Structure 1
Amino acid sequence: MTSQAERKPTNPQDEWTQEWVATEAEAGERIDKFVAESAEEGVSRTQVQDWIRAGAVTVNGAAVKPNYRLEPGDVVAVTPPEPEDANIRPEPIPLQVVYEDGDVIVVDKPRGMVVHPAHGHTSGTLVNALLHHCRDLSGINGRLRPGIVHRIDKDTSGLLMAAKNDLAHVSLSEQLKAHTVERAYIALVHGNLPHDQGTIDAPIGRDPHDRKKFAVTAGGKPSVTHFTAVERFGDYTLVRLRLETGRTHQIRVHMKYIGHPLAGDPVYGRAKTVPLDGQALHAAVLGFVHPRTGETLRFESPIPDDFQRILDMLRNR
């Protein structure tokens, strides 16, 4: 079974490292092929070979050659290097700023916006917009992710914080790792939830059948999501979810796991079940301690219009 090995990051960059454990079925597979099929969409095998030669890919903590063949239990770790010609330009993209001072900015990200640039995708992102708006951002995560301490999916809307300097970045990162940041989401899920509230405590790792996806797996990282049913529509339920941990796609994976995938989710559910481009998921609450003043800040974002129209439609059926 493929899984993400449990590990504790030693520096902020480690949050961008991807890890997999090779299975019996993957034994003998070339490392460059394995990583190309496991990494983010759009990464070529040739690009992976360049990463391997640059030392950005390790097996059991050691560098290998592109023709290395996997053995069962090998831990493969990848931290994609920034391309030498990375030049992320400020772009005058409108931002809905919820809060801003000299250390932190909180924005309400629209559905459809990518948070940070990736290889081959360097414009139209939240980072491009922030660079134009703020000019100065924390440099801890490099040129592709300046100021970014956490992410929400492209087709998830809602609140996200960014750091304007390294002091703020370190503080916010530590709060995220300590699970003291308050994050609550609103989602529309398929089916009628049998309980008014509950907790999903199930480890999340790479999907053993599709390494580009995540799933509840025995070897995954501890993941906890709390949910409360807000409104029922018979074949749909509006839920409020609170994250105790922050794994990639956590809400989407956990709700699928209990048999109630998010409406419109093209990866973990059934796409086009509602008139929405992507999953019906909104980051509605964000709370944290200000890195300089120590003040507790808490922000709320209303459900966006496209999501609200679906709820109105369900209520008026």
Structure 2
Amino acid sequence: MAVDKPAGILVHSDGGGAATLTSWVAAWLAAAGVPATPQAVQRLDVQTAGVTLFSLATEFQPQLDALVAGHAMHKRYLAVVEGALPRDLSRIEAPIGRDRHDARRMRVSASGKPALTMVRTLCQRGGRSLVELELGTGRRHQIRVHLAHLGHPIVGDALYGRARGGGAGPSRPGLMLHAYQEEFTHPVTGEKISICAGWPQRFDAYFGEEDLGSASRG
């Protein structure tokens, strides 16, 4: 089951009692009369929106977990970043570890774990870039850390970017990071599946859906 997660909601409970995407999905299934216990296949950061997959059959969860562990599930993200990201940049390879000075944050560190992010610049306008990203590894906050390390933090990033110390509001639209597409081979049927959440409307202040094809048009 695929859900278009809104920004600002946890996928799993953090013990604080707040509503979660998992509880929302469970309530929807119960109301629809579907006897299933949803389990998220992957997580998204609380401020990241977009495609989130849930397993409804516990007997198939090990196969899905194996796909995730083997990097056989390909999730593509869209982000609006500060500045003009070099158009010839295709890989960000820098190890990531915990920030010893702030438990909420991760950072690029020589003693961290290897981390790889693939990146493609789609369009540049108004001192910002629209980029497509795919994870080669799955470190916490990986995309946000890698882009901030290069000096091109994601617009609206209150933890790693120029919006640090603030949250979403009238002048702060929130984190401009969207998981817009997921592709994988179904572990039981062998069917190739592609799920797209579509263009995130909150990006409209910076770019439009037509800009997705800008890279191919040169």
Identity of aligned residues (%): 37
Amino acid at match of 1:268: Y
Alignment of 1:1-317 (within 5 A): 105-123=1-19, 125-135=20-30, 136-137=35-36, 147-271=39-163, 275-311=171-207
TM-score of the pair, normalised by structure 2 = 0.84
**1:50 aligned residue:** none
Structure 1 residue 227: Cα displacement: 0.5
* 1:138-182 deviation digits (Å, cap 9, x = unpaired): 5xxxxxxx5022111122111010111223321111111111111
* 1:189-245 deviation digits (Å, cap 9, x = unpaired): 001112333201111110132222101112222211011110011411110111111
**Secondary structure of residue in 1 paired with 2:3:** strand
Rg (Cα) greater in structure: 1
The number of aligned residues is: 201
Determine if contact 2:47/2:175 at 8 Å carries over to the other structure: yes
Structure 2 spans left out of the alignment, 5+ residues: 212-218
For residues 180 and 110 of structure 2, what CA distance do their matches in structure 1 show? 30
For residues 137 and 277 of structure 1, what CA distance do their matches in structure 2 show? 35
Amino acid at match of 2:156: G
**Secondary structure of residue in 2 paired with 1:197:** coil
Amino acid at match of 1:302: G
**2:214 aligned residue:** none
**Secondary structure of residue in 2 paired with 1:291:** coil
Amino acid at match of 2:7: R
* 1:43-98 deviation digits (Å, cap 9, x = unpaired): xxxxxxxxxxxxxxxxxxxxxxxxxxxxxxxxxxxxxxxxxxxxxxxxxxxxxxxx
Structure 1 residue 137: Cα displacement: 4.4
Amino acid at match of 2:6: P
Structure 1 residue 134: Cα displacement: 2.5
* 1:115-148 deviation digits (Å, cap 9, x = unpaired): 122212242x11111111234445xxxxxxx502
TM-score of the pair, normalised by structure 1 = 0.59
- Bigger RCO of structures 1 and 2 (CA < 8 A, at least 6 apart): 2
Structure 1 spans left out of the alignment, 5+ residues: 1-104, 139-145
Determine if contact 1:192/1:234 at 8 Å carries over to the other structure: no
For residues 270 and 168 of structure 1, what CA distance do their matches in structure 2 show? 42
For residues 303 and 168 of structure 1, what CA distance do their matches in structure 2 show? 31
**2:215 aligned residue:** none
For residues 187 and 276 of structure 1, what CA distance do their matches in structure 2 show? 15
Q: CA RMSD in A?
A: 2.1
For residues 206 and 161 of structure 1, what CA distance do their matches in structure 2 show? 27
For residues 91 and 126 of structure 2, what CA distance do their matches in structure 1 show? 22
Determine if contact 2:185/2:193 at 8 Å carries over to the other structure: yes
Determine if contact 1:137/1:163 at 8 Å carries over to the other structure: no
For residues 171 and 73 of structure 2, what CA distance do their matches in structure 1 show? 32
Determine if contact 1:276/1:307 at 8 Å carries over to the other structure: no
For residues 121 and 18 of structure 2, what CA distance do their matches in structure 1 show? 39
For residues 305 and 182 of structure 1, what CA distance do their matches in structure 2 show? 23
**Secondary structure of residue in 2 paired with 1:256:** helix
* 1:253-276 deviation digits (Å, cap 9, x = unpaired): 000111100001000001179944
